[in-house]
A and B are shown apart, each in its own frame.
Chain A
Amino acid sequence: MDEQTEASGFLTHVRAYRGGSGSGRSRRRAPRASFARRLALAFGLIFVLAAFAPAVAPASASGESSTSAESRAATALEEREARIAQHKREAEEIRAQRKAERLERIAQARREREQRSGTRATEFGHVEISCTAVTWYFEKFPEGTHTVTEIVAIDGTLFGPVKFTFTGTSGSNTTPIGEDGEEPKGGHRIDARAKWGSATGSARTGWDISSTRVCGRTPDAAFTIEKRQQIAGTGGFVPTPLVGAVGQTVVYEIVVSNIGTVPIAFSNFSDPRCDPGTITGGPGGPVAPGTFTKFFCRHLLTAADQAVGSYTNTATITGTPQVLGDETPSTQPSNTVVVTVPTPKKEETPPGNKEPPTNKEPPTGKEPPKQSPPSEEKGANGVLASSASQGPKLEVLASATSAPALSGRPEGCVRSSFVVSVKAKNVKSVTFYLDGHRLKTLTAHSARRGRLSVRIQTARLKVGVHRLTARITMIPNAASVKAVTVVRSLKFARCASAAVSPKFTG
């Protein structure tokens, strides 16, 4: 019986159970009455399909398709095996890479540990490097007399060799390094090596014990101490020499900065030039990294200072890192500052009739003779400028002599404009020239706040250096019936825009 016939009979059987086109009453009773039949029919259908399934599958596949399926199965198996092998290889590579990284980390940690401690052990002993000495410990040697060659290199410079002889199976030798056994400032790399040959003939070649250590101060605990000074009431603090007079007071400012990364406690501040009882300031406790503390003290200039002429002064302080295990105190000196107390000289200068004194540098071409201003300090941008005997503040010149000077020289270069002025005291008129061309003439009537000023427009000037000259005509005084004319000049630079195409090498 073929499949179609069997299915047709089955359908006929199903229609017979449904009662064909019977009356409505019989149709209404049919679902309740035929439920068991339907269930039996469903099981029967499942049974039939299960019985025919094995026969259907082979009937639907030819001989060729069977071979192709086997081939596909074999190919899939190969691919699966290849994937597995690939995964295994990748896993092994990853494991090997991780192992290598782990070993490298371990080796790196060992190297760092050895470098920190300066100790390295081998089967024949070990070497310990402190920052003041190198000590070798030779162990497990055969019986006999052994001569060991020891070499120390500091920052790559070799010292030695030192021959060390011992008898027996072990020996030890210490080689001091450094000056006076003190660890130096700054970082230094110490390499220590030892090799040996045995008198018993068991000579070994190569360097058998070696190690390296870096000694010296690290940035973790570092501080600076900077000393500055000023004549009381004359300006800001400067580190440069000052000129004072007997009776004046020199005020010192000592700035101690913690430039490391750990807190530092400071103590033992000393300054030989501070008058007793004048030291003030200082921290209330450890100074945090990146912060600073200030000390102040004073010194009254006396005849003794004048007799000496000048004196130098250096402050010192001790800093102790607040780190467990590294609380080694360190004492540092400050920079040295100088105060000169010259003997006063008598000089008579007729007002308005004498050019200011020149310094000893020869005139440079067209420049006017340079003048020696008195000691004056000038602060800029909160930063102290200094000049012991000369200063750029030209107004000072005018007060030092009756010959006024130009003031208002621009710092650096100028792009748009700037104002220069002349003090108007005893001035009759001022004529300004720019690069030889007359700009403007001002009389004493034009003075504002005691100054004769002019604004110099530079926007149209060529980029480069220009000279501004002022011809100052003074009012005749009792000593001279003729008006005195003084020439003052200054140079300034007109610079280009900062938005340029650079001429760097690239």
Chain B
Amino acid sequence: MPTRAHRAAPRRHAWRPRAGTAAAALLAAVLIAAAPTAGATPKAGATPAAGTPLIALSNQRTLTRWAYPSSEATIRSSPAASSRAIGRLRFLTSDEQAQLYVALAATTPSSGVAWVRVEVPGRPNGQTGWVPRAALGSFHVVRDLLLVDRTRLLATVYRNGRAIFSAPVGVGKASTATPAGVFYVTEKLVTVGAPVYGPYAIGTSAYAPTLSEWPGGGVVGIHGTSEPQLIPGRPSHGCIRMRNADITRLWHLIGAGTPIQVI
């Protein structure tokens, strides 16, 4: 005669938004679907003082603001002139194009001076810092996201959260892997005299972790190729290679400041 089962004490588990085991497609969907008001996750050493309101300027998914520097101001670890300097704004990239900075958040401490937290291109990847608002020009807005999936070897452009372009890619080999993280388009180049880069190239704020001695500092680019048979694959030194037809379309599709999510 079966008896009624007794119920064990309910145990409540806390949600922990980790995505390590989620499938890549799921992660992409989550990235797109997440609310933009969440803003970028503040990194260590880059938080304003307690009680100071922090305004998210970009979520780097559906809304990203960027600006050109108007001076070579010091980038600081927190929104205070007395905080530690971690670098300076630059006018030019390593390819001597206009350098731009993605604005992540803004705050106005009690001093009354508005500060903007920006992504700092360079090694190590993912560094952010604070600059006075006056050190940046006017803000520009992009609503695109370029998602590069190193597992599926696929690049997808999302506009307002919807996929509008997808193409296979070649990424870095194991010894010179393409770094993961959130970066952005710093420059768009028409390549001349370098058929290995294809007809067009896109500069990113990502730096190859190992190739620090590379000319230009080891900037990770997105470019065409003279060896399309290697795509999709893992043939590169860290750059993201695309077939020439695909890089041509991508080059015309996305603009400067477009965030790049490499997973």
Choice from B1, B74, B203 contacting A504 with Cβ under 8 Å: B203
Interchain Cβ contacts under 8 Å between A and B, 11 examples = A155-B21, A175-B8, A219-B162, A224-B36, A333-B37, A338-B53, A364-B71, A364-B72, A364-B73, A463-B92, A501-B197
Instruction: Kindly state whether residue A85 has any CB partner on chain B within 8 Å.
Output: no
Closest Cβ neighbor of A390 among chain B residues: B134
B136 to chain A, nearest CB (A): 7
B interface bracket (residues with beta carbon within 8 Å of A) = 35 or more
Instruction: Write the chain A residue with the least CB distance to B142.
Output: A383
Q: Which 5 A-B pairs have the closest CB atoms?
A: A503-B216, A504-B221, A171-B5, A156-B21, A385-B138
- A155 and B10: CB pair below 8 A? no
CB-CB contacts below 8 Å: A329-372 with B: 332-338, 340, 359-362, 364, 367, 370, 372
Residues of A close to B218: CB separation below 8 A: 505
Report the number of A-B residue pairs with Cβ-Cβ less than 8 Å: 318
A19 at the interface (CB under 8 A from B): no
* A344 CB, nearest partner CB in chain B, Å: 14
Which one of B41-49, B62-70, B149-157 contacts A? B62-70
Q: A226–B30 contact, CB under 8 A?
A: no
- Among candidates B10, B57, B138, residue contacting A411 with C-beta atoms closer than 8 Å: B138
**Chain A residues, Cβ within 8 Å of B8:** 162-165, 173, 175
For A466, the closest partner residue in chain B by CB is B91
User: Which residue of chain B is the closest to A334 with respect to CB atoms?
Assistant: B37
Give the residues in chain A near B2, CB-CB below 8 Å. Answer: 168-170
Residues of A within 8 A of B56 (CB): 239, 335
Cross-chain contact B197 with A504 (CB below 8 angstroms):
yes
Q: Is the CB of A162 within 8 A of B215?
A: no
Number of A residues, CB within 8 Å of B: 103
**Bound-complex Cα distance A179 to B134 (A):** 43
| Cross-chain contact A502 with B161 (CB below 8 angstroms) | no
Please name all residues of chain B whose beta carbon is closer than 8 Å to the beta carbon of A156 when the two chains form the complex: 18, 20-22
Chain A contact residues, CB within 8 Å of chain B: 138, 152, 154-157, 159-160, 162-179, 184-189, 214, 216-219, 222, 224-226, 239-241, 257, 259-261, 289-290, 312, 332-338, 340, 359-362, 364, 367, 370, 372-373, 378-381, 383-392, 409, 411-413, 463-465, 491-493, 495-496, 498-506
- CB-defined contacts of A389 to chain B, threshold 8 Å: 108, 112-114, 133
Least Cβ distance of B52 to chain A in Å? 10
Partner pick for B219 among A219, A384, A464, A505, CB 8 A cutoff: A505
The CA of A184 and the CA of B19, in the complex, are separated in Å by 14
Query: Inside 8 A of A169's CB, which chain B residues have their CB?
Result: 2
Given the interface pairs A261-B162, A463-B96, A502-B191, the reply to whether A189 lies near B22 with Cβ below 8 Å is: yes
With both chains docked as a complex, state the minimum distance between the C-beta of B69 and any C-beta of chain A, in angstroms: 9
Partner of B10 from A157, A175, A290, A465 at Cβ < 8 Å: A175
